[in-house]
Amino acid sequence: MKVGFIGLGIMGKPMALHLINGGHTAYLFSRSGVAPELVAAKGIACNSPKEVAQQADVIITMVPDTPDVEKVLFGKDGIAEGLSADNGAGKIVVDMSSISPIETKKFAARIAELKCDYVDAPVSGGEVGAKNAALTIMCGGTEAAFAKVKPLFELMGKNITLVGGVGDGQTCKVANQIIVALNIEAVAEALLFASKAGADPAKVRLALMGGFANSRILEVHGERMVKRTFNPGFRIELHQKDLNLALSGARALGVSLPNTATAQELFNSCVAHGGAAWDHSAMVRALEMMANHEVAPG
């Protein structure tokens, strides 16, 4: 296929590379420029999202937040201009960012006016999952559009699910982020408790991994807490954004999410101490500050 990819950051760059290595012609755009390794792999650098949309049959976006998606889609020299100006009918726009389900439905309706399909396909798995082509991909859209783009998803991920109609993929991603945040908080509390009580948190983690408390969060993020490796795989500020979507959606639905709110407050504390760009496993630092004790002092 002729595939466009817009947004080549920590996640987007390896995802685009998998598509190129899978034999697809890739038209690329990033605000910060297209990485030399993508060009070396025969990716084609474009000057705007409009140009990407003009060239590609499937246009993928992977950018940080809802306003970023809106700008890429409908701003000056955006995707919509490329679709309307160059016989865009029948093309498919795929948003793999994590954004508002409500706004996603509005974006899809505007793209449909250009006689194009829209699939929302947010991902989970972080930088490691992106590099290893092991992402979980949660999709919303028609079965026909999903079937067309699924071969592309299979080059980037392993657990690929059509959840429902447009917007349902984003709703699923918000639910995912609730679970991840609360699991990080639970692991952080457990390791902090163990360390303060005098046990070796590294050994406690290994012991817990053999029991019912085991989880991917305990395995990966628990190790980060013990080793103090908080360079971002997924930044706190991005998880904050996702929990804002959860909490605002909950208000609209009349649902209470008390522990999600607590996790958000812990992220807020980290940001107040300069941690917006820390990995989200660094939520443990907020608890450590309250306890005046580090899980594993450096």
CA distances from 169 to 47, 97, 149, 165 (A): 29, 10, 14, 8
| Residue 227, C-beta contacts closer than 8 angstroms, at least 6 positions apart | 296
Amino acid sitting at position 17: L
- CA–CA separation, 25 and 2 (whole Å): 5
What is the DSSP pairing of strand 92-95 with strand 58-61? Answer: parallel
105 is catalytic: no
Nearest alpha-carbon partner for 188 in 269, 249, 255: 269
- CA–CA separation, 48 and 97 (whole Å): 18
Nearest alpha-carbon partner for 216 in 88, 111, 124, 283: 124
Nearest alpha-carbon partner for 78 in 67, 69, 88: 69
CB-count exposure of residue 99 (10 Å: 0-12, 13-18, 19+): buried
The residue from 13, 91, 148, 173 that is catalytic is 173
Q: Report the catalytic residues.
A: 173
